Amino acid sequence: MVYNGDMPQDTFTLRLIAKELNETLRGGKINRVNQPGKEELALIIYTGKRTLKLTVNANASDCGAYFTEDGRENPLVAPNFCMLLRKYLGGAEIEDVSLDGFERILVFRMKCFSDFSETKRELRAEIMGKYSNIILTENGTILGALKTTTLDENRKRAVLPGVKYTLPARQDKTDPSDRAALSALLSSPHEDLAHFLFLHVAGLAPCTAEQIVAAYRGGGFADHVYGYLFSDEISPCVAEKDGNVTDFFARYVAGARPFPTLSSAQSYFYEKRRERKRLDDGRRKLIGAISAVRKKAEKRLSQIREKQRECASLEENRIKGELLTANLHALSRGMKRCVLSNYYDENGGTLEIALDETLTPSQNAQSYFKRYRKQKRTLEILAPQEREIAAELDYAESLAAAAEVAADGEDVRSLEEELMAAGILKAPQERRRTEREIPYRLYEKDGFTVRAGRNNLQNDRLVRMSDPGDVWLHTQKYHSCHVVIEARGKEVPDGVLLFAAGICVRYSGAKGGGKVPVDYCRIKYVKKPPKSKAGFVTYSNFKTVLAEPQKTDERDG
């Protein structure tokens, strides 16, 4: 089976989620309601045994209901819907959690108490992708909603306080709880059963339809579908690919990571998704700042080289001045040009020289010498500027390479700190002093410790702190992290050397597959030139090894 990343927040999965929530929360009391995100609620519930935090999310990409333990901060001023829920649900007792029929709607039925009365209210979580919503009702009337709509916005359904609650428009599909209708639908064979189920049976995600078909072992297919959808069998898991989560499932999928509950599977899935989003957003921010620096350096370097090209004729101007000086006796004022024997030409050729007819021959010669001296001074001024800007551009490219391979939040944070130190990003006025120092990437291989820098500042510290006999590695033709093998007086085996070289390649600017040359030498041959950019070193007495990207994860440092 092939799963295409379509999260199964379908009715099949939500029914099992509702059952799990009901078993855990029935009889529990709501102690507090928070709203940490624009479309996300956090219900703090005491079950009689422990206090749980239930997240109910109506965001298009993160919709769901599951327990979490994250310490996300809440806004200083609670949003209106949050205040409404605190008013109506504070101290409420959860009677049960279930689905509304076979709809993608979780219903939390509650007994709410005041000084003089007891009222029953329902919190409805409509888990419907971009149409998700959270609505509070009493006796079928809406008290408030996370997202409100008027009849002008949605002619079929208004979601406003005081309006009668109605279900979202139903799809033209068969309700699988109607066994007769399901049998009639599936009475004739179909070539692509999974696709047919998805198109014609209500409440199924494509991956659930594929799982139903894959589990079929013969007999009445309609009975199989009904039994699969309404069975309480559960084996939650999360599918991952290339280090990223792709889906979570109520039934086990080969190769997926198992979880004890659907809630824990969802919590892991969404937290990993948020981590990936934070990482991607952080990388985009850094790459944008680095790109601006690169463009500025490239523009300045282009201007310098354009001026250098304009000075390319300085030697020709010097020669013309000298030839005119040597032939003053043969020239006179008023000449527009002359052709003189060029004694600088090995072949004894001639050189045509343009003259200003208003100047004397001597003044024309001095004019060429003046141009020569001006061009020479310009080139002398441009040379250190070119070296400085080229170094800045090389440094920016090293930062860009580090941003491209940033693999986790610590990589992003370490690079962010370097950009602040370099003045590329503005540092916040108050830096948190309690933050721990970001560790090096740390590995163990065959008894040897291998360290790799996360940014150029760490690369410099790594070189400074290492023993002269340790082995230092860096990709030959690309920007990469600096890697050091702690030798401790031992000879480093080839296997460890190749492993460390693979770390260099993994965190380098090298693109595509294939082996990459990596230089290595003892730390004592690595030098940091004075006033050079962070991460820049020179080295000698080196050898080269070809290596592929190392995929082994680091151990905690």
Please name which of 20, 21, 24 lies closest in space to residue 233, comparing C-alpha atoms: 20
Determine the 3-state secondary structure of 204 from DSSP. Answer: coil
pLDDT below 50 — which residues of the chain? 1-5, 432-435, 556-557
In the beta sheet, which residues pair with residue 547?
516
Q: What is the pTM of this model?
A: 0.74
Angle between helix 361-404 and 456-465 (nearest 10): 80
Contacts of 2 (CB under 8 A, 6+ apart): 210
306-314 CB contacts, 8 Å cutoff, 24+ apart:
307/378, 307/382, 308/379, 308/382, 308/386, 310/375, 311/375, 311/376, 311/378, 311/379, 311/382, 313/371, 313/375, 314/371, 314/372, 314/375, 314/376, 314/379
How far the first Cα of the chain sits from its last, in Å, is 39
Rounded to whole angstroms, the Cα distance separating 473 from 470 reads 10
Side by side, the strands of the sheet bearing 244-249 are: 244-249, 237-241, 257-258
> For residue 453, what are its two tokens?
């820098």
How far lies 75's CA from each of 37, 38, 51, 72, 394, in Å? 8, 10, 22, 10, 42
Give the tens place of pLDDT for each residue, 304-349.
999 999 999 999 999 999 999 999 999 999 999 999 999 998 888 9
**What is the structure's pLDDT at 306?**
95
Q: What are the residues whose beta carbons fall under 8 Å from the beta carbon of 540, sequence distance 6 or more?
A: 521, 525
Alpha-helical (H) ranges within 332-435 are 361-404, 409-421
Q: What are phi and psi of 124, to 5 degrees?
A: -110, 120
Distinct helix (H) and strand (E) counts, the chain: 12, 22
Give me the pLDDT at residue 6, please.
52
Residue 436 is predicted with a pLDDT of 53
Can you tell me the distance from the alpha carbon of 78 to that of 33, in angstroms, rounded to the nearest whole number? 10
Amino acid at 543: K
User: How many CA atoms lie within 13 Å of 83's alpha carbon, on the beta-carbon side?
Assistant: 6
User: Which candidate, 357, 352, 402, 359, places its Cα nearest to that of 507?
Assistant: 402
What domains, with CATH codes, occur in the chain? 11-145 (2.30.310.10), 179-260 (no CATH), 308-383 (no CATH), 439-547 (no CATH)
- Using DSSP, state whether 197 is helix, strand or coil: helix
| Residue in the structure block whose two tokens are 């892991």 | 268
DSSP per-residue codes, 152-193: TT-TT--B-TTSBP-PPPPPSSB-TT-HHHHHHHTSS--SSH
3-state secondary structure of 222: helix
The DSSP 8-state label assigned to residue 438 in this structure reads P
**pLDDT for the residue numbered 2:** 38
pLDDT at 404: 87
Q: Say how far apart CA 460 and CA 454 lie, in whole Å.
A: 11
* pLDDT computed for residue 556 by the predictor: 40
pLDDT score of 557: 38
Supply the pLDDT for residue 433: 45
Sign of torsion over alpha carbons 276, 281, 285, 291 = positive
**pLDDT tens-digit profile of 8-52?**
689 999 999 999 999 999 999 999 999 998 999 999 999 999 999
Three-state SS sequence of 473-491:
EEECCCCECCEEECCCCCC
Q: Name which of 228, 250, 227, 230 is nearest 238 in CA terms.
A: 250
Q: What one-character DSSP code corresponds to residue 350? A: E
Tokens of 297: 């350096």
pLDDT at 430: 55
**CB-based contact 363:257 (threshold 8 Å):** no
Largest CA distance in the chain: 122
**Closest by CA position to 445, among listed 405, 501, 516, 518:** 501
List of E strands, 214-327: 237-241, 244-249, 257-258
Measured between alpha carbons, how far is 310 from 470 in angstroms, rounded to an integer?
A: 49
396 Cα distance to chain centroid: 20
Rg of the chain taking only CA atoms, in angstroms: 36
Name which of 430, 398, 410 is nearest 534 in CA terms: 398
Amino acid at 131: Y
